[in-house]
Structure 1
Amino acid sequence: MMNTESKRRMYLFLLVLVVSSTVGFQGWRTLINNFAVDVGGLSGLDMGLVQSVREIPGFLALLAVYVILFVREHRLAAFSVAVLGAGVALAGWLPTTAGLVFTTLIMSFGFHYFETMNQSLTLQYFSHTEAPVVMGRLRSFTALTNIAVGGAIWIMTRHMGFTAMFIALGAIPLLAGLWGLTRNPSDSTLPPQRKKLVFRTRYWLFYALTFMAGARRQIFVAFAVFLLVEKFGYSIQAITILFVVNNVINFVANPLLARAVNRFGERSVLSVEYGSLIVIFLAYAWTDSPVVAGALYVLDNIFFNFSMAVKTFYQKIADPKDIASGMAVGFTINHIAAVFIPFMGGILWMADYRIVFLGGAAMGLISLILSQFVTRQIEHAGNTTRLT
Structure 2
Amino acid sequence: MGLSSFIERCISSFRDAIKDSFTNDRDFTLFLCIGFLAGVAGGINTSIFNNFLNDVFHLSETARGVLEFPRELPGFLVVFVLSMLAFLGDTRITSISMFAAAIGIAGLGFSHSFGVLILFLMIFSMGQHLYMPLASSIGMHLSEPEKFGSRLAKYNAYNLSASLIGYGVVFVGFKYLHVSYKTAFIIAALFYLFATFTSFLMKKQEPHHKSFKLIIRKRYTLYYLLCMVNGARKQIFLTFAPWVLIQMFHVGPETFAIYGVIIALVSIFTRTLVGNAIDKLGERKVLSIEAVVLFWLCIGYSFAANIFTASVAGIVIAACYIIDSSTNAVDMARSTYMRKIALHSSDITHTLSLGVTVDHAVSMSIPILGGLLWSAFGYQVVFMSAAVIAATNFVLSMRICTE
Taking structure 2 as the reference length, what is the TM-score of the superposition?
A: 0.88
- Aligned pair 1:144/2:161, yes or no? yes
Match of 1:180 in 2: 199
TM-fit CA distance, 1:50: 2.1
- C-alpha separation in 2, matches of 1:218 and 1:32: 15
Match of 2:180 in 1: 161
Whichever residue aligns with residue 63 of structure 1, its letter is F
- C-alpha separation in 2, matches of 1:178 and 1:156: 26
Deviates more, 1:307-316 or 1:62-71: 62-71
TM-fit CA distance, 1:46: 2.0
For the Cα contact (< 8 Å) 2:103–2:124, is it kept in 1? yes
- C-alpha separation in 1, matches of 2:397 and 2:76: 23
Match of 1:88 among 95, 105, 116: 105
Structure 2, unpaired ranges of 5+: 1-20, 306-312
- C-alpha separation in 1, matches of 2:208 and 2:256: 44
Instruction: Give 1:41-52 correspondences, 5 Å limit.
Output: 41-52=58-69
- C-alpha separation in 1, matches of 2:73 and 2:232: 13
TM-fit CA distance, 1:191: 8.6
- C-alpha separation in 2, matches of 1:108 and 1:125: 26
Deviates more, 1:128-137 or 1:21-30: 21-30
Residues paired across the two proteins, number = 372
TM-fit CA distance, 1:21: 2.1
Match of 1:291 among 315, 324, 327: 315
Match of 1:313 among 337, 343, 347: 337
Q: Secondary structure at the match of 2:364?
A: helix
TM-fit CA distance, 1:101: 1.6
TM-fit CA distance, 1:233: 1.3
Q: Deviations over 1:92-127 (max 9, x none)?
A: 111443332222101100000012211222233323
- Aligned pair 1:338/2:344, yes or no? no
- C-alpha separation in 2, matches of 1:65 and 1:169: 25
TM-fit CA distance, 1:32: 1.2
- C-alpha separation in 2, matches of 1:267 and 1:204: 15
- C-alpha separation in 2, matches of 1:31 and 1:357: 23
Match of 1:225 in 2: 242
- C-alpha separation in 1, matches of 2:268 and 2:112: 33
Give the structure with the larger helix fraction.
2
Q: Deviations over 1:322-341 (max 9, x none)?
A: 01111111110111100111
C-alpha change, 1:193 and 1:247, in structure 2 (3 Å) is: farther
Match of 1:235 in 2: 252
Whichever residue aligns with residue 295 of structure 1, its letter is A
Q: Secondary structure at the match of 1:302?
A: helix
TM-fit CA distance, 1:16: 2.0
Whichever residue aligns with residue 187 of structure 2, its letter is A
C-alpha change, 1:181 and 1:171, in structure 2 (3 Å) is: same
- C-alpha separation in 1, matches of 2:397 and 2:341: 15
- C-alpha separation in 1, matches of 2:274 and 2:241: 23
Match of 1:204 among 200, 221, 228: 221
- C-alpha separation in 2, matches of 1:233 and 1:29: 16
Q: Deviations over 1:18-37 (max 9, x none)?
A: 22222223322211111111
- C-alpha separation in 2, matches of 1:273 and 1:339: 23
TM-fit CA distance, 1:73: 1.4
For the Cα contact (< 8 Å) 2:83–2:211, is it kept in 1? no
- C-alpha separation in 2, matches of 1:102 and 1:7: 42
TM-fit CA distance, 1:41: 1.4
Whichever residue aligns with residue 316 of structure 2, its letter is V
- Aligned pair 1:361/2:378, yes or no? no
Deviates more, 1:70-79 or 1:45-54: 45-54
Match of 1:245 in 2: 262
What is the aligned-residue RMSD (CA, Å)? 1.9
C-alpha change, 1:370 and 1:25, in structure 2 (3 Å) is: same
- Aligned pair 1:170/2:189, yes or no? yes
Instruction: Give 1:27-42 correspondences, 5 Å limit.
Output: 27-42=44-59
Match of 1:347 in 2: 372
Match of 1:370 in 2: 396
Larger radius of gyration: 2
Structure 1, unpaired ranges of 5+: 380-388
- Aligned pair 1:324/2:349, yes or no? yes
Whichever residue aligns with residue 306 of structure 1, its letter is V
- C-alpha separation in 2, matches of 1:194 and 1:128: 25
- Aligned pair 1:58/2:75, yes or no? yes
C-alpha change, 1:108 and 1:211, in structure 2 (3 Å) is: same
